[in-house]
Homo-oligomer: A and B are copies of this chain.
Amino acid sequence: MVERSLNEHLSHLLAQANRHLSRQLTAEGVSLDQWRLMKVLSESGGLPMGKLAEELALNLPTLTKLVDRMVQDALVYRVPDPADRRKVRMFLSDKGASMLASQNKRVEEHEAKVEDNYGNEDAQRLKSMLENFIKQIV
């Protein structure tokens, strides 16, 4: 049993890839997490905090405070669920939607460029492999 070098560890490779890409995608004060949050809400508005935390792999206290800030900035808003008053349903505001739109543009452009350089077929393949991988480990 030979010891692996760092570059042969999935955890390391994922950390590197994630950090580089997420740095490149942070712009105009919109972090990758903020973008992902807004994007989820645009696709499924009204998600409760718990589901949102799951979708984004954020833990709940972290999400609470991220949402606090985004509510301050009027990007999203909370609506208590009348059917289950423990729940808080999250929605994207108009301002949030327009922020999302411009950030979408930046992200799409950047990823398109990256995927072009990497090779579009390979990029496609990489994504579907990651998708399966995530299902595996969650």
Contacts and interface: CB of A to CB of B under 8 A. Distances in A.
A114 B134 contact: no
A23 to B, nearest CB: 8
Contacts of A136: 114, 117-118
Interface stretch (A32-40, A63-71, A72-80, A85-93): A32-40
Given A14-B18, A32-B15, A137-B20, A118 B132 contact: yes
A20 B138 contact: yes
A43 B111 contact: no
Contacts of A17: 14, 18, 130, 133-134, 137
B3 A104 contact: yes
A134 B20 contact: yes
A6 interface: yes
A123 to B, nearest CB: 7
Contacts of A11: 21-22, 25, 32, 36, 107, 111
Interface string A1-28: 0011111111111111111111011000
Contacts of A16: 56-57, 130, 134
A78 B4 CA distance: 26
Interface in A103-130: 104, 107-108, 111, 114-115, 117-118, 122-123, 125-127, 129-130
